Amino acid sequence: MKVDGRPMRTIWLDADGWGVDVIDQRWLPHEFRIVTLRTLAEAATAIRDMWVRGAPLIGVTAAYGVALAMRENPSDAHLDQAWATLHETRPTAINLRWALDAARARLRPLPPAARAAAAYAQAAEIAEEDVDINRAIGRNGLAIIRAIAARKAPGEPVNILTHCNAGWLATVDYGTATAPIYLAGEEGVPVHVFVDETRPRNQGASLTAWELLHNRTPSTLIVDNAGGHLMQHGRIDMVIVGTDRTTARGDVCNKIGTYLKALAARDNGVPFYVALPSPTIDWTVNDGVKEIPIEERSAEEVDFVQGLGADGKVSRVRVSPEGGRAANPAFDVTPARLVTGLITERGVAEASADGLRALFPERG
Ligand code: MRU
């Protein structure tokens, strides 16, 4: 996507040919900062402290983290160390484990001297694959948007609600939930996006709203609790969200608050779609509520909000009484029965074991 007219991705090789450049998303939308990761430890910190975030981008950053580790020391022991260090950074997004398992499987049989180059090549492949997947999700999702647009008065926009940031900043490019929206814009299908602010870290307000503004996609920021009201008044035509892990039977784990939107959508007959790249499917689990580990993040994220002060500086302010207790589960699970369809790179699947298996028969 473009930032101020300049084509950008979220992760790329530095001019030195080995450092890994990323957009430090903690400062958006107020400051656009790029940082270079040069060690395994820095890659792990970037994921854990959410300089980069979003399931697909976490996976790609982890793959580059392994490459940085192999440059430091290509031994078997350090490969295992890299896997463990990166794996413990964020527990819910399955793309992390998927990328790490793929890296270890490819690198282990190679002589140590060949591992760093192979790891960089593999990370680049995973990044390219992410872009291709997202474009395909965009095409498949666009067909749904077009069908809704066809039922509306000519020129009237399709109103789409989204939660958190499943945009290009959460991936390498295009995003998952935003890919159909960006394609709709390119193809002249009028869309308007309602953006949930997504407390506590405000990925909607800080990242999705910023992306859409830069892309000139019409959007309106709303507080997390407004979605149900808008649905009751017929102001939302469809919901599209991303996912951090979807189970083999179609239960969808995504940013906290997604489940409440799915309940409101069901109650109001609003279609609820999930944009799902296949590396985000965890074929080893079925019951998302019972089996997916939910990341518990620091209570500080609930107690404080970050923003731009009157002095023009980014700072934090406390919103809760000092000494009180806060809890911060970062994700929730929307059961498959509440999901209208899973928009994958291979087509739109029914959210069920049969639906997913029909599109991915190699998974048996
Ligand atoms: O905690 P985050 O910001 O990493 O959470 C991101 C989300 O929940 C996204 O919706 C999800 O990763 C899908 S991104 C294409």
| Atom 6 in ligand 1: residue holding the nearest Cα | 54
Residue 358 has a CB neighbour count (10 Å cut-off) of 13
Radius of gyration of the chain from Cα atoms?
20
Residues in contact with ligand 1 by the CB-under-6-Å rule are: 53-56, 93, 164, 166, 170-171, 176, 203, 242-244, 254-255, 330
Q: Is residue 22 part of a domain?
A: yes
Residues 106 and 192 in one domain: no
CATH number, domain containing residue 57: 1.20.120.420
* Helix (H) or strand (E) run with residue 220 in it: strand 219-222
* Active-site annotation, residues: 244
Cα-to-centroid distance, 253 and ligand 1 (Å): 10
> What global pTM score does this model have?
0.97
Final residue of a domain: which of 128, 146, 178?
A: 128
Cα-to-centroid distance, 279 and ligand 1 (Å): 14
User: Tell me: the pLDDT tens digits for 95-109?
Assistant: 999 999 999 999 999
Q: Is residue 143 part of a domain?
A: no
pLDDT per position in the chain (364 positions), as tens?
888 888 999 999 999 999 999 999 999 999 999 999 999 999 999 999 999 999 999 999 999 999 999 999 999 999 999 999 999 999 999 999 999 999 999 999 999 999 999 999 999 999 999 999 999 999 999 999 999 999 999 999 999 999 999 999 999 999 999 999 999 999 999 999 999 999 999 999 999 999 999 999 999 999 999 999 999 999 999 999 999 999 999 999 999 999 999 999 999 999 999 999 999 999 999 999 999 999 999 999 999 999 999 999 999 999 999 999 999 999 999 999 999 999 999 999 999 999 999 999 999 7
Q: Is residue 139 part of a domain?
A: no
- Residue 240 main-chain phi, psi, to 5 deg: -130, 125
**Structural domains of the chain, count:** 2
| Atom 14 in ligand 1: residue holding the nearest Cα | 166
CA dihedral defined by 59, 63, 68, 70, rounded to 10 degrees? 140
Q: Is residue 150 part of a domain?
A: no
Residues 171 and 117 in one domain: no
- Residue 264 main-chain phi, psi, to 5 deg: -65, -40
Residues 122 and 217 in one domain: no
Residues 359 and 295 in one domain: yes
* Residue labelled with tokens 């078997």: 76
Please choose from 23, 203, 256, 298 the residue to mutate so as to test ligand 1's pocket, defined by most ligand atoms within 8 A of CB.
203
Cα-to-centroid distance, 207 and ligand 1 (Å): 11
Q: Is residue 44 part of a domain?
A: yes
Residues 119 and 168 in one domain: no
pLDDT of residue 2: 85
Residues 161 and 272 in one domain: yes
Q: What is the 3 state secondary structure string of 55-110?
A: HHHHHHHHHHHHHHHHHHCCCHHHHHHHHHHHHCCCCCCHHHHHHHHHHHHHHCCC
Residues 122 and 159 in one domain: no
Residues 186 and 312 in one domain: yes
Q: Is residue 20 part of a domain?
A: yes
Q: Which residues contact 70 (CB under 8 A, 6 or more apart)?
A: 78, 79, 82, 107, 115, 116, 119
Residues 99 and 35 in one domain: yes
**Among the atoms of ligand 1, which is closest to the Cα of residue 164?**
10
Residue 66 structural domain: 2-128
Final residue of a domain: which of 128, 145, 170?
A: 128
